[in-house]
Structure 1
Amino acid sequence: MKRLLSSLLLAAAGLAVAPFVSATVLTFDDLAGDDFVPANYGGLDWSAGDWFAFGDAQPPFSAHSGSMRIASGFGDADAATAIGLGDGRTFQGAWFAGYEDVDVSFKLYEHGALVATSATLATSATPTWLASGYAGLVDEVIVSSADQGGFVLDDLTFSAAVPEPASTALLACGLVALAAVARRRA
């Protein structure tokens, strides 16, 4: 009985912590070479965008990690940088490098509605982190800049959503019911 209860509590703790450790970082280093980012790369939807991956050293377009990074097309509209995250995800941010004083920011959308805009980052040859500044759910990210193609993006970071309180309460009720059944059997 005590062993079963211990197992149930350990399982509950694992389920409660799992959403917090599910951050995904796309480094782009697993892409085969210089080419457009595949439409479903990393479990995200890149099909609306015009992102190009490359690995050759080209200052000031420094990679944050590894050698690969991605760039939008020169003169693209912001809409050509759309990255579809899918449902139930949060977006933390990415690393940027590029020409001096090219400004970039994120526009975050959920079901077609703009829910947040990040701070603005002035790029340089040194990769710098731009946080989204928003912890809620988003299903699309647009990288906004008047100078598309003047920067690179690396180490894009997103996560599965933290469960809602109702989901956690339902999990707790289920575990209590399992414990009660186990107790009766013992």
Structure 2
Amino acid sequence: MIKKYLSATLVGLSLLAASSSSSAKVIDFEDINFSPSGGFSGQDLTQRYGLNFTGGRYGFSTLTATSYSGWGAHSGNNYAWGDGYNMGIEISGNNITLNSFWVRGALMADDVGSITVRAFKGSKAVASKEFSYTETYHLETFNFAGIDRILITSRGSGPVLLDDIDVGFASPVPEPASYAMLLGGLGLLMLAARRRKSS
């Protein structure tokens, strides 16, 4: 009998622990529909996918369709576009992990430069990576975990395109009160089962 109650308690605790795991998603921007005019269409990207986007040369990040000459997405049709010339794109959220993204320059063959990606927890920089980019998409991997802000800055001659941003979102960790409620509920179930057996 005690084995049965103990196994029920262990199952309950493991389910609660599993609920605090993280989930990952690849942001490819394909859920946004555009109606291009003059070969170009865009939309300011501020809050989407559980994240906040800010920055860019003129104080914004832009999401564009790929019909503009020389530009293209890594996959699908849409991508995030940040104006070059020392642009900065900031992505913020709650307890996120930046795994990777695809990046390239746009328009001209000489659109080359360097990008620095810095990860922050609060106001403290906890990780960074610098790399070069060209007019061809390439994958950059990071594995920056447990952060709440990502700052992407470029020093180059033209716009920077980001696509297929792989991020993870950690579920909130259950508070001790949650465990206490679970154990209390299991205790009441055990008491009810014991009374039923004795009657």
The answer to whether TM tops 0.5 is yes
**Letter paired with 2:44:** V
Structure 1 residue 69, shift from structure 2 partner: 0.7
Q: 2:119 matched to which residue of 1?
A: 108
Report if the CA contact (8 A) 2:99-2:167 is conserved: yes
Report if the CA contact (8 A) 1:23-1:157 is conserved: yes
Structure 1 residue 12, shift from structure 2 partner: 4.3
Q: Over aligned residue pairs, what C-alpha RMSD do you find?
A: 3.3
SS of the residue aligned with 1:145? strand
| Greater fraction of residues in helix | 1
Distance 1:148 1:142 in 2: 19
Alignment of 1:58-73 (within 5 A): 61-73=71-83
Structure 1 residue 173, shift from structure 2 partner: 4.9
Structure 1 residue 163, shift from structure 2 partner: 5.4
Q: 2:141 matched to which residue of 1?
A: 131
Distance 1:111 1:150 in 2: 28
Which consecutive unaligned segments of at least 5 residues does structure 1 have?
none
- In structure 2, relative to structure 1, the CA distance for the partners of 1:60 and 1:151 (3 Å cut) is farther
Q: Report Cα offsets for 1:66-120 as digits up to 9, x if no partner.
A: 1111121132443xx11222x33232232112367532231111222212102x3
Distance 1:51 1:143 in 2: 11
- In structure 2, relative to structure 1, the CA distance for the partners of 1:41 and 1:185 (3 Å cut) is same
Regions of 4+ moved over 6 Å = 1-8
TM-score by length of 1: 0.73
Distance 2:11 2:164 in 1: 33
- In structure 2, relative to structure 1, the CA distance for the partners of 1:58 and 1:169 (3 Å cut) is same
SS of the residue aligned with 1:30? coil
Q: 1:84 matched to which residue of 2?
A: 92
- In structure 2, relative to structure 1, the CA distance for the partners of 1:17 and 1:72 (3 Å cut) is same
Structure 1 residue 35, shift from structure 2 partner: 1.4
Equivalent residue in structure 1 for 2:128, among 117, 139, 153: 117
Number of residue pairs the alignment of both structures matches: 179
Q: Report Cα offsets for 1:139-181 as digits up to 9, x if no partner.
A: 21111221274431012222222655xx477655544433222
Mark the structure with the bigger radius of gyration.
2
Report if the CA contact (8 A) 2:112-2:156 is conserved: no
TM-score by length of 2: 0.69
| Greater fraction of residues in strand | 2
Equivalent residue in structure 1 for 2:186, among 160, 179, 184: 179
Which consecutive unaligned segments of at least 5 residues does structure 2 have?
35-40, 194-199
Report if the CA contact (8 A) 2:24-2:166 is conserved: yes
